[in-house]
């Protein structure tokens, strides 16, 4: 991979080309080109309001784009219907707010989509859910309800729930921002393990330590535009633009 952060040869799993998005008069994504190769971890950085969440929401089509194209494995992401449901199954998303179903157990939260969308037999869905709970360090919490868990535990359940659909791509939008400091590490650890196992991930985070350790590339978004993509080392040590230098100065001061 070059220092400028071009993905090295491998075919992109996710590709955004020339993506534009407006909210009314606000132009929130501007000619965005971004590729995430299979097995790659790309961390999306940028100030508040720069369009990071919007970009994620366009990728799993919670939002529509105005122009440009987003493809998954070369196939444009579908607008609606059964094809869209299939896309959603392939693209897992983990949000800042864990969005677990409060009245359901941890196990039920994880098995719901595999049962309903993938129509897995209950036994298989539950066996897989227990495997995933074990993987995120929560084997003993299957019968608990979300309110009985800490924030960090709830977020790990949310990750297990996303993994239960066997996604090809995982989107994370500030997964640790709502957590108390002592719980951030346990969630980042699960994410780092996934990255090391070869999961393809697009991650919005303000955790610069994670970005440096786990990212293959960093993309810096400023006012809806990707100003830089680079390896973490290149980006953190030699940011190419004034905007990125400002951003880093602010965020690293905290
Ligand atoms: N549903 C919406 N309707 C109108 N404007 C929106 C909507 N969602 C986002 N915006 C605007 O689009 C711009 C990009 O917002 P977005 O949430 O993508 O930024 P962000 O980089 O995720 O910020 P943060 O770091 O605060 O989460 C902002 O100016 C925001 O006010
Ligand atoms: Mg956001």
Number of domains in the chain: 1
What per-residue confidence (pLDDT) applies to 5? Answer: 54
Tokens 């539950």, residue located: 126
Q: Ligand 1 pocket, 200 CB below 6 A?
A: no
What per-residue confidence (pLDDT) applies to 80? Answer: 78
> For residue 153, what are the β-bridge partners?
none
CATH code of 123's domain: 3.40.50.300
Residue 235 within a domain: yes
Name which residue sits closest to atom 24 of ligand 1, judged by CA.
48
In angstroms, how far is CA 71 from the centroid of its own chain? Answer: 16
Residue 2 within a domain: no
Q: Ligand 1 pocket, 25 CB below 6 A?
A: no
What per-residue confidence (pLDDT) applies to 88? Answer: 80
What per-residue confidence (pLDDT) applies to 89? Answer: 84
What distance in Å separates the CA atoms of residue 202 and residue 171, rounded to the nearest whole number? 5
Q: Ligand 1 pocket, 46 CB below 6 A?
A: yes
Residue 5 within a domain: no
CA angle 235, 17, 79 (to 5 degrees): 130
Q: Ligand 1 pocket, 224 CB below 6 A?
A: no
What per-residue confidence (pLDDT) applies to 7? Answer: 55
For residue 143, the tally of other CB atoms under 10 A from its CB is 10
Name which residue sits closest to atom 12 of ligand 1, judged by CA.
28
Tell me the two tokens of residue 201: 């991930």
Ligand nearest to the CA of 44: 1
What's the half-sphere exposure (Cβ side, CA atoms, 13 Å) at 111?
Answer: 20
Residue 136 within a domain: yes
For the chain, give the number of residues. Answer: 254
Out of 19, 20, 21, 23, mutate this one to test ligand 1's pocket (max ligand atoms within 8 Å of CB): namely 23
Over its length of 254 residues, how does the chain's per-residue pLDDT go in tens digits? 445 455 544 579 999 999 999 999 999 999 999 999 999 999 999 999 999 999 999 998 899 999 999 999 998 988 777 888 888 889 999 998 888 999 999 999 999 999 998 899 999 999 999 999 999 999 999 999 999 999 999 999 999 999 999 999 999 999 999 999 989 999 999 999 999 999 999 999 999 999 999 999 999 999 999 999 999 999 999 999 999 999 999 987 76
Residue 6 within a domain: no
Q: Ligand 1 pocket, 52 CB below 6 A?
A: yes
Residue 93 within a domain: yes
Burial 226-245 (b: 16+ CB within 10 A, else e): bbbbbbbebbbeebbeebbe
For residue 137, the tally of other CB atoms under 10 A from its CB is 16
What distance in Å separates the CA atoms of residue 64 and residue 49, rounded to the nearest whole number? 18
Pick the closest to residue 163 from 185, 139, 141, 135 (CA basis): 135
Residue 27 within a domain: yes
What distance in Å separates the CA atoms of residue 71 and residue 140, rounded to the nearest whole number? 39
Residue 3 within a domain: no
Domain span at residue 43 reads 12-253
For residue 15, the tally of other CB atoms under 10 A from its CB is 20
What per-residue confidence (pLDDT) applies to 242? Answer: 96
């Amino acid at each position: 991979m070059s220092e400028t952060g071009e993905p090295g040869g491998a075919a992109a799993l996710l590709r955004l080309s020339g993506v534009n998005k407006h909210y009314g008069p606000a132009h929130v994504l501007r000619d965005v080109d971004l590729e995430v190769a299979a097995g790659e971890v790309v961390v999306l950085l940028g100030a508040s309001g720069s369009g990071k969440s919007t970009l994620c929401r366009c990728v799993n089509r919670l939002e529509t784009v105005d122009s440009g194209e987003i493809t998954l494995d070369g196939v444009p992401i579908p607008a609606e219907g059964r094809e869209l449901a299939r896309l959603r199954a392939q693209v897992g998303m983990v949000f800042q707010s864990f969005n677990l179903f409060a009245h359901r157990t941890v196990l039920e939260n994880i098995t719901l989509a595999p049962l309903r969308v993938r129509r897995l037999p209950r036994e298989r869905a539950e066996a897989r859910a227990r495997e995933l709970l074990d993987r995120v360090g929560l084997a003993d919490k299957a019968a608990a309800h979300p309110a009985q868990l800490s924030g960090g535990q709830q977020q790990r359940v949310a990750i297990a729930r996303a993994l239960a659909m066997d996604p090809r791509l995982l989107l994370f939008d500030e997964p640790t921002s709502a957590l108390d400091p002592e719980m951030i590490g346990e969630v980042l650890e699960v994410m780092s393990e996934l990255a090391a196992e070869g999961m393809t991930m697009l991650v919005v985070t303000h955790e610069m330590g994670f970005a440096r350790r786990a990212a293959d590339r960093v993309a810096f978004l400023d006012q809806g535009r990707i100003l830089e993509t680079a390896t973490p080392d290149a980006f953190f040590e030699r940011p190419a633009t004034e905007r990125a230098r400002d951003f880093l100065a602010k965020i690293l001061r905290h």
